[in-house]
Structure 1
């Protein structure tokens, strides 16, 4: 077979696969749970939202603190910072506060009802995200399989359910993906109005860049399927241009913000930041189980999987293996792309199962969360009781702190040595901080001299703690089971 013939054959198969992807003829097989589809479609998002509303897990990350600090600064100054206003080690250094809108929303929720208000905000986001996912799952699948798909997605996402901007972006990612898939299913371009999602997304979280990649992929898929339909291609082009304009022109940083995600992803220091680690067994067993299931599904249906969607699934899998945080993309986008493959050729339900009591139930959940006092559970990143013991004259002095403790310090108005903004501190400083945490007393002494450090807060299990207990010129001021505070005596 000649190369041209082989290429032509692949092209024809690709176009046929994309035509077949939407041409489903038979109907849903009877399912004992289908009689309860309406209840299940609403109950699953409510269950996940309830877990978020009352779980202590969402505050297990110190970054929540500096996001709150940034939001307070933005509201107080009626501006988005372009330089570091917080640390005593990098004052004035250029900083892209690309999540400013999420930070303002977080502060608004915090001022409404403290930690409980913040939990209510993220519970609302979770309910909306899983409403979108459940709606698509029950549209494509019999109830028992829809429950399995949504439940598995919840299991993948729950470890990443933290009170940070990325969780608010879940809703936009799900909505954007559904809009693109619906457009392809109906052989049309997305509505221009949908491009306005980028106005919010680009100011909320850097994952909006992935949204552009998705739109480009589905536009290319449409081109392969309909190479002569200029009107359709023109509408896809107009949609993409409108989305680009929304992201570039309605953000504080303009087009330069497009480069930010790529600059961060190239940092060497990501290797020592937990969420950027590789996905491993046994830490990520559910992810690898889903990956194995996806491989089996693709192996069985590879002839009918549109090539670009197969490429997307492979890309999502590779991203999630390399960096655990991308399991979120794998879960949300992956399940929406896989749903038609799981339907075994059944035509999607043309109507949506409407659950009129769902949003009132969500409102009730939010109201309960706001009304019930939230009992914050302290841990090593948030030793708030211990920090409250530090006199004001010491709090105003330069401090040494561990990476994850910087956020709470910012939240309390204390200028940190380092916090979760590794993109601003850079590779060298982040690695240096990690070495000190592990007990490099020489580097610690150098930074004490360089930055005039007068006190230190260290996690109870840090290697630096026993070194400071023996270090001349330092004494232990206070400690508990989470952390210890040391002050200089000379």
Structure 2
């Protein structure tokens, strides 16, 4: 018995020791993939509108820079993101904007890693799906634009659903304040509304079947989910335009935009197609091979996320983030089935290589930053 306890204690020490360098490597990869920034042609407008709102301390109702729409009501559905950009730019210029974008992108990685830790998935085994998810989400985080807020808010939405599926009774109450903020940051909150609608609809179906359509048990089963989600839906009316914002977005989001590349369907052949199928294969196989149950509601959300990029390639990062978060609870069981029970290697054999790799990645990050500073 003493020998078994000693072996268990040694294993736990080795696990903790390897978690630190693995975490450093994950952080270095996050920084490397999120720090690169490209110019966005719309950034000047976002900054100008935000600076104007700050100067007047009000939200502009008419676009003063448009000749075509002069005099008509202007619904600026990204006004809060633009104000944030303007504030950050006023404090630190372009460098501060890049820093803000990088921090927001890192938040996405932190949300996924929190699920990895919460479900006891060994960090070193989760690096492949984690890095794949980050690489795909990098598509939307290369530029400073309001869409970066949607990545964070969408991650939190799927995180709340995943935690609710795991038994948490409070996670869904994160959604009302989240959507009240999100609706003023970016129109991508519609993606969150869609995910919640699908999940809630399937929860209703499952609950009705489970309680054999008896009204009282059905109500007791559903109200803990229906109440916070209903409040979250109502929270989207907390915006300067009230219902008008919904009308505007539903009208503009449903028209074809063949001239905009990111609104085109995902090209199946090519790098993006390979990343799409790689994510689908990895997360789908983990869910399929896991011994953990996968509910009808989660399955339906997963299916919708898989379809999204086939409608518009701009949804590929949301698909990668959402499917990875839904699959994380199944990674540990699937990895054990594929690779056997995880036995942490000796810390001295892992720590040094991982720290060296982290240092190399950090150096790769610092080089372009140094060059940028020398040119300025």
The equivalent residue for 1:487 is: none
The equivalent residue for 1:444 is: none
Distance 1:212 1:310 in 2: 17
The equivalent residue for 2:250 is: 262
Q: Which runs of 5+ in 1 are unaligned?
A: 1-28, 348-367, 379-490
* Residue 131 (structure 2) pairs with residue 160 (structure 1): no
| Equivalent residue pairs, number | 324
Matches within 5 A, 1:318-329: 318-329=307-318
Give the superposition deviation at 1:374. Answer: 5.3
The answer as to whether partners of 1:41 and 1:131 remain within 8 angstroms in 2 is no
Give the superposition deviation at 1:142. Answer: 2.1
Give the SS at the match of 1:91. Answer: coil
Distance 1:255 1:90 in 2: 21
The answer as to whether partners of 1:279 and 1:320 remain within 8 angstroms in 2 is yes
Q: Kindly tell me: are residues 87 and 47 of structure 1, through their superposed partners in 2, closer, same or farther at Cα, counting changes over 3 Å?
A: same
Distance 2:253 2:15 in 1: 44
Return 106-115 or 193-202, whichever deviates more.
193-202
Q: Kindly tell me: are residues 185 and 302 of structure 1, through their superposed partners in 2, closer, same or farther at Cα, counting changes over 3 Å?
A: closer
The equivalent residue for 1:145 is: 125
Give the superposition deviation at 1:168. Answer: 2.1
Distance 2:110 2:375 in 1: 29
Per-residue Cα deviation, 1:398-443 (whole angstroms, up to 9, x for no partner):
xxxxxxxxxxxxxxxxxxxxxxxxxxxxxxxxxxxxxxxxxxxxxx
Q: 1:48 aligns with which of 12, 23, 30?
A: 30
The answer as to whether partners of 2:105 and 2:152 remain within 8 angstroms in 1 is yes
* Residue 223 (structure 2) pairs with residue 242 (structure 1): no
Distance 1:283 1:322 in 2: 17
Task: Normalising by structure 2, report the TM-score.
Answer: 0.75
The equivalent residue for 1:67 is: 46
Per-residue Cα deviation, 1:119-163 (whole angstroms, up to 9, x for no partner):
111111122221111111233322233111210111111122120
The answer as to whether partners of 2:279 and 2:320 remain within 8 angstroms in 1 is no
The answer as to whether partners of 1:41 and 1:134 remain within 8 angstroms in 2 is no
Distance 1:102 1:376 in 2: 30
* Residue 274 (structure 2) pairs with residue 282 (structure 1): no
Distance 2:322 2:375 in 1: 33
Q: Kindly tell me: are residues 37 and 302 of structure 1, through their superposed partners in 2, closer, same or farther at Cα, counting changes over 3 Å?
A: closer
Task: Normalising by structure 1, report the TM-score.
Answer: 0.59
Distance 2:179 2:334 in 1: 33
Distance 1:232 1:308 in 2: 14
Give the superposition deviation at 1:41. Answer: 3.5
Distance 1:46 1:261 in 2: 37
The equivalent residue for 1:123 is: 102
Q: Kindly tell me: are residues 271 and 30 of structure 1, through their superposed partners in 2, closer, same or farther at Cα, counting changes over 3 Å?
A: farther
The answer as to whether partners of 2:62 and 2:70 remain within 8 angstroms in 1 is yes
The structure that has the greater radius of gyration is 1
CA RMSD after TM alignment: 3.4
The answer as to whether partners of 1:74 and 1:81 remain within 8 angstroms in 2 is yes
The answer as to whether partners of 1:276 and 1:324 remain within 8 angstroms in 2 is yes
The equivalent residue for 1:179 is: 160
Q: Kindly tell me: are residues 326 and 255 of structure 1, through their superposed partners in 2, closer, same or farther at Cα, counting changes over 3 Å?
A: same
Q: Which runs of 5+ in 2 are unaligned?
A: 1-10, 212-216, 337-365
Give the superposition deviation at 1:289. Answer: 2.5
Q: Kindly tell me: are residues 69 and 330 of structure 1, through their superposed partners in 2, closer, same or farther at Cα, counting changes over 3 Å?
A: same
The equivalent residue for 1:272 is: 259
Distance 1:102 1:193 in 2: 20
Per-residue Cα deviation, 1:50-83 (whole angstroms, up to 9, x for no partner):
5434x242x2x21122111211121122222333
The equivalent residue for 2:176 is: 195
Distance 1:189 1:219 in 2: 16
Q: Kindly tell me: are residues 46 and 318 of structure 1, through their superposed partners in 2, closer, same or farther at Cα, counting changes over 3 Å?
A: same
The answer as to whether partners of 2:133 and 2:279 remain within 8 angstroms in 1 is no
Distance 2:139 2:276 in 1: 11
Distance 1:296 1:190 in 2: 27
> Which 4+ residue blocks in structure 1 deviate beyond 6 angstroms?
29-34
* Residue 295 (structure 2) pairs with residue 313 (structure 1): no
Q: Kindly tell me: are residues 166 and 299 of structure 1, through their superposed partners in 2, closer, same or farther at Cα, counting changes over 3 Å?
A: same
Matches within 5 A, 1:292-311: 292-294=281-283, 296-297=285-286, 304-311=293-300
The answer as to whether partners of 1:34 and 1:142 remain within 8 angstroms in 2 is no
Q: Kindly tell me: are residues 94 and 374 of structure 1, through their superposed partners in 2, closer, same or farther at Cα, counting changes over 3 Å?
A: farther
Give the superposition deviation at 1:167. Answer: 0.7
Distance 2:288 2:21 in 1: 34
The answer as to whether partners of 1:188 and 1:232 remain within 8 angstroms in 2 is no
Q: Kindly tell me: are residues 184 and 292 of structure 1, through their superposed partners in 2, closer, same or farther at Cα, counting changes over 3 Å?
A: closer
Q: Kindly tell me: are residues 170 and 272 of structure 1, through their superposed partners in 2, closer, same or farther at Cα, counting changes over 3 Å?
A: same
Give the SS at the match of 2:64. Answer: coil
Q: Kindly tell me: are residues 195 and 137 of structure 1, through their superposed partners in 2, closer, same or farther at Cα, counting changes over 3 Å?
A: same
